[in-house]
Amino acid sequence: MKRLVLFILGLFVLIGIISASGAKEAKPLGSEENPIVWAFVPSSDTQKVVSGAKAMVDLLQKETGYFYKVLVPTEYGGAIEALASNPPSAHMASLNTFAYIIAAEKKVAKAELIAVRRGKTTYNGQIIARAGGGIKSLQDIKGKIFARVDPTSTTGWIIPSLMLRAARIDLEKDVKILDAGSHDGVVSAVYRGDADAGACFVDARTNIQKTNPDVMEKVVVIATTIDVPNDGIQFSPAMPEDMRKKIVSAMLKIAKTEEGKKALRQAYNWDDLEALGDSFYDPFRQILQSAGVNPASFVK
């Protein structure tokens, strides 16, 4: 009888352990134990982006009551992988245009908010060159070192690469590619002479002007791109709809406050946010399709 009692007690203890383990796994998304992960990919100075990102999630936590964690992948491919994992290791992301289109094709991201800069929801890229280096047109880039942000950067490679191809430059044979890692990095590489030319957003030169006052004279613009949709905030389809709507509403509210504007500018130079969804990217998709560009081919 004593053995039976001990067996039953042991069984209850085991059930309790299993239940506790299950309860731990079942912590709701947005709780302190299971925070919402927001992937921020640095487009300029990493420390500045991270600081702005942390300020944003702190404001968002106060507004929504949810807990958040900042994830900083080194490139957009890593952010897409985080959204695509099962379960997702990122629930929100700030992807650039091209990376979002790839993520949307993979059905791992849904656009909800678009950044506003200087009153516009679109921006342009530029191809730059070192002044006095003999590059005055795209054709002059043949045989040179060309700095790009990374293989999936919209204005830091994708659109400029189409422009170079249109100028009859073979990207495999006619140029040596230098991956600079950020738009600031591209400008710095051209400024230092590590690259002869490069691609970045308009006007990334001002980002290094404080430490390099003569950058506007030493680095010149030789071409600009078409209008490109701004980056923004996207969500994993796995996130509950009511949670997504609450965060979107909160971000729109935060973007109107002084604290919010400061955080947005610090992270990505955003001035405001606008509620625009996936269809906002359709005209840009049509441009890529007309150019015969397969977005998936740019991600290994």
Each residue's pLDDT tens digit, 56-88: 999 999 999 999 999 999 888 899 999 999 999
Strand intervals (E) in 135-231: 145-148, 176-179, 197-201, 219-224, 228-229
Kindly report, as residue ranges, where domains of CATH 3.40.190.10 are found in the chain: 36-121+229-298, 125-225
pLDDT at residue 12 is higher than 70: no
Tell me the C-alpha distance between 249 and 184, whole Å. Answer: 32
E strand spans, the chain:
36-40, 68-71, 92-94, 110-116, 122-123, 125-130, 145-148, 176-179, 197-201, 219-224, 228-229, 232-235, 272-275
How far apart, in whole angstroms, are the C-alpha atoms of residue 13 and residue 6? 11
pLDDT in tens, 181-208: 999 999 999 999 999 999 999 999 999 9
Its pTM surpasses 0.85: no
Q: Is 219 left (phi over 0), alpha (psi -120 to 50) or beta?
A: beta
Beta pairing, strands 68-71 & 36-40: parallel
Q: Are 228 and 123 in contact (CB under 8 A)?
A: yes
The fold of 125-225 is D-Maltodextrin-Binding Protein; domain 2 (3.40.190)
Q: Say which DSSP state 28 is in.
A: P
Q: Cβ distance 115 to 40 under 8 Å?
A: no
Per CATH, domain 36-121+229-298 is 3.40.190.10: yes
